[in-house]
Structure formats: structure tokens, C-alpha cells
Copies of this chain bind each other. A is one copy, B any other.
Amino acid sequence: MDERVQKVLDYIEAHKDEYVALLQRFCRQPSLANTGEGIAEMSEMVRAELEKLGANPQVFETGGSPFVYGEIKGETDRTFGFYDHYDVQPVDPLNEWHTDPFAAEIIDGVIYARGVADNKDGLVTRLCAVDAWQKVHGTLPLNVKFLFEGEEEIGSPHLLPFAEAHPDLIQCDGYVWEGGNREPGGPAELTMGVKGLLYVELYSTVSEKDAHSMYAAITPSATWRLVQALNTLKDRDGKILIDGFYDGIKPVSQAEKDALKTDVFNESAVKEILGIEKFIGDAHGEDLLMSLYYKPTCNICGITAGYQGEGSKTVLPGKASCKIDFRLVPGQDPNRILELLRAHLDKHGFEDIKIECHSGCLAHRSDPEAPFCKAVIRSMKKLFNEQPCVQCTSGGTSPMYAFCAKTNIPAIMFGSSSESANIHAPNEHLAVNAFIDMIRINVTVMHEFAVQE
């Protein structure tokens, strides 16, 4: 390990009780975005810590939880963005907790608290890494920006507006984005992108009322119409039949394909979790991961019409509706897909099917060969003596797109939490050692990116 880094790591080792105490202090402050409880106190606590680091914090009112921003100039022109959130999920069901969710008790080397693994750990490790580096070297190896929101757990409603209002503030050379896992015995998992999303609801309406089904011989059926319209969207092999749907999709690069070889996706474990016997087409290995990460989808989230109770009721429903999410990949614009969907339905004679758009966002995929990504991968190898698992994208969608999709800034989620950390659930927890490891990762990554050619 580079000597400059090692000094900082030694400092962390010597001051770890102090850093753990900071994490506990953060965890003891409730900060529930859904109710607003503790949000003001928490955002002030974040601001005050940034002040101590000399980050000139600014607090932006959003209409919801405030956005806390800070920046520190370093030795090089390169700039890190740290994105984290200081809000947490609700604690219910409270009676399933073995500790007070805001006590941050440490039991056998594990801290139990709401938010300790999602994402107060991440936020605090940025502060600690910067603090340690400054204490040892008096400065930082590169510029850092802190971009901390307080509404991630309610869908980040003000993140994109913030990004659009402050294009200068969100500019940087690479984002360290929230948390990630390093399972016991497994490599660190790096997630470098997200899929986009278009969420629509389709409505087929023939009448405001349901009819006796004896009239089915003469009365148009909203449900059959919806079924027929849906059936034009996708063939039985899963190909999406909307004209232009696949146009402009950014090809999967060799580096993105190569990254699949590092993946630790456990097929049998995932099948068990999903409760399925086979994946689509009985796919395995890289074929399976190519689909999971790089293919767009058209999924029915829900469909409803008519009678849904026990037994039978002879009714002809007047209305039918269906919720669909399209997971999109880089090169697909949700607004354009929405237009194509409308044109598709019209072309197939379904002008009467109404589309309501619930939400849309762009995909983002970082190039694993970008200097930032290479620096993070290298850091993990150095720290843990093993190849990390590189996922160029998640199969899901996160607010990452708000800062990264249009700017094309690389972003990586990494951390030392675990699938078993009970995030969003009772008894959320994180090992003290994992927390300290995470500070070490941040320190190493800052250095590696700063010295990267």
C-alpha cells in the first residue's frame, strides 16, 4: 500500500472509537423523510460536520427535506462527488426490534440502528475518510463535493430538480454513490449504473358500469380489448414489438461483457429467493447476466378488471387497466418510448386505450474502463487482495440517474454492508469492522483516483 495511504489507515485504526461514536451519534438522531420527524435536526447535524471539515456547507430548501452541499479543494484538479442521504426508512414494526432503533447499541461488535446500513454508514464514512486524510496530511489528494439529500427513502422527489437547477454543483469526475455490499467470504461488489424506467398505466374503458355478462354477445369488452392490446406489445419469446423500441440502444462494450466474468451472481440462491425453477429460457452464466443487466424489459406490474372475489360472478366489466414498467438501458429515452407506445397502440387499432405516465427516468451505465472506475477497482484489489465483482449496472433503477444520466459522469456504489443487514427492516445492523473497512475504502479510493494517469 502507498505510504501516504498507509499513514491515513493507521490514523483511522488509532481513532476508530471516535469514528464509531460519530456514526452512533448520527444514528441516534431520527430522520424520517415520510413524516419529517427529525429531518431539521439531522440536516443541521450534517451541515455542522461539513463545517468542521471546512467544506463551506450550503443548505438548499427543496420543498421537502433540505439538500446539504459542501465542497473542499484538494491537491489535484480531479473532483470526487459523494452522494449519500441522511434520511431513513420508518421503523415499524417496532415490536420486532430487539433494541431501540435509535439507540445505536453495539452488541458483540455489531451496531443495531435504523439507517446504520442504509445509508448513515456511507455518509459518515465520507466524513471520517476526509477528516482522517486532513488530520494526517493537512489537505486532500483531490477535490471533494458532498451532495447529501434527505428524501431518498421516499423516492428522491427533489433530486432531479436540484440537479437541473444546479448543473455546476453536480459536476465532478466520478460519484461515490451510497452503499454496497461485501458479503462475508465474498469480494466487494461494485455497481456502476442503473436501468432507466418508464412506468405507465393503460386504461381500456367501454362503460362506466359493469354489465350482466349475458350482454357479452353484443357489448364490447374493455378487458378483451386490453388483453389484445397487451398481446401486441411483446411476443412469446419476450421480444418487445413496439416499433423503434430497440433503436439507439448503446451497444454493450467488450469491457462491459468482460465485467460479467467478475460477477458473483448466485443462480441457485436467486432462484430460491424468487421461488422459481428456471430463469427465462433456462438461461445460465453470462447469457443470464447479459439479460439481467443489459436488456430492457416490458413487465406487467398489475392488471385488474371486474370480479376478483371467491367463486363466480357473471359480469362484463366496463373497465380494465394494467400497470407496466419498462426498464430501459442507455440510449433509450422514456419520453420517446412513451411516444412509441402511443404510436404502436394507434397503429394496431387501439386508439381508445388511454395511457397514463406515472414516471420516467433515464438509464446510466459507467464505463468500467473510465479512470474513476479503474481507480475504484484497483483500490479494492489493493485493500482486499482480490478482484471485486463489477456490475456495470444494476437491473434496477435508483436516483443515480438524476446526477449521472445526462452528464455521463461515472458513478459507483460500493460498501461493506451485506444482503443480511436488514435494511428497511427491523434490526438493521452493521458490523463495526465493516464500518471501519468502509472508511478505509474511501481513503484508498481518494488516493487511487488522485494519482490515476
Complex Cα–Cα for A153 and B298 (A):
45
Closest chain B residue, CB of each to CB of A296: B217
Pair A396/B323 contact, Cβ less than 8 Å: no
Report B-chain residues with C-beta under 8 Å of the C-beta of A207: 274-276
Report B-chain residues with C-beta under 8 Å of the C-beta of A251: none
**Residue of A220, A236, A274, A325 most packed against chain B (CB within 10 A):** A274
Closest chain B residue, CB of each to CB of A321: B308
Interface string of A219-231 (1 = CB under 8 A from B): 1110110011011
Report B-chain residues with C-beta under 8 Å of the C-beta of A302: 305-308, 313, 315, 317
Contact status of A228 and B224, CB under 8 A, knowing A275-B207, A301-B316: no
Pair A214/B312 contact, Cβ less than 8 Å: no
A11 interface residue (CB < 8 Å to B) = no
A359 interface residue (CB < 8 Å to B) = yes
Complex Cα–Cα for A305 and B301 (A):
8
A280 interface residue (CB < 8 Å to B) = yes
Chain A contacts with B in 344-366, Cβ cutoff 8 A: 349, 358-359
Rounded to whole Å, the gap between the CB of A38 and the closest CB of chain B is 26
Rounded to whole Å, the gap between the CB of A300 and the closest CB of chain B is 4
Complex Cα–Cα for A50 and B258 (A):
90
Pair B327/A307 contact, Cβ less than 8 Å: no
Pair B312/A274 contact, Cβ less than 8 Å: no
A295 interface residue (CB < 8 Å to B) = yes
A388 interface residue (CB < 8 Å to B) = no
A406 interface residue (CB < 8 Å to B) = no
Pair A217/B308 contact, Cβ less than 8 Å: no
Interface string of A187-229 (1 = CB under 8 A from B): 0000000010101010000111101111111111101100110
Pair B219/A274 contact, Cβ less than 8 Å: yes
Rounded to whole Å, the gap between the CB of A301 and the closest CB of chain B is 5
Report B-chain residues with C-beta under 8 Å of the C-beta of A278: 220
- Copies of this protein in the assembly total 2
Rounded to whole Å, the gap between the CB of A408 and the closest CB of chain B is 22
Rounded to whole Å, the gap between the CB of A309 and the closest CB of chain B is 8
A90 interface residue (CB < 8 Å to B) = no
Rounded to whole Å, the gap between the CB of A424 and the closest CB of chain B is 12
A94 interface residue (CB < 8 Å to B) = no
**Majority secondary structure of chain A interface residues (helix, strand, loop or mixed):** mixed
Report B-chain residues with C-beta under 8 Å of the C-beta of A201: 312
Contact status of A323 and B301, CB under 8 A, knowing A199-B312, A234-B224, A395-B217: no
A283 interface residue (CB < 8 Å to B) = yes
Closest chain B residue, CB of each to CB of A279: B218
Rounded to whole Å, the gap between the CB of A178 and the closest CB of chain B is 16
A320 interface residue (CB < 8 Å to B) = yes
A297 interface residue (CB < 8 Å to B) = yes
A291 interface residue (CB < 8 Å to B) = yes
Complex Cα–Cα for A211 and B312 (A):
28
Contact status of A300 and B291, CB under 8 A, knowing A218-B279, A220-B280, A327-B213: no
A21 interface residue (CB < 8 Å to B) = no
Complex Cα–Cα for A127 and B20 (A):
92
Interface string of A235-246 (1 = CB under 8 A from B): 010000000000
**Sample of 7 further A-B pairs with CB below 8 A, known A215-B270, A219-B280, A301-B315:** A199-B314, A206-B276, A217-B295, A217-B395, A218-B288, A219-B279, A303-B304
8 chain-A/chain-B pairs, Cβ below 8 angstroms: A195-B214, A217-B297, A218-B291, A220-B276, A236-B349, A301-B306, A302-B306, A302-B307
Closest 7 pairs between A and B when the two form their complex, measured CB to CB? A302-B306, A207-B275, A214-B395, A216-B299, A214-B396, A302-B307, A231-B231
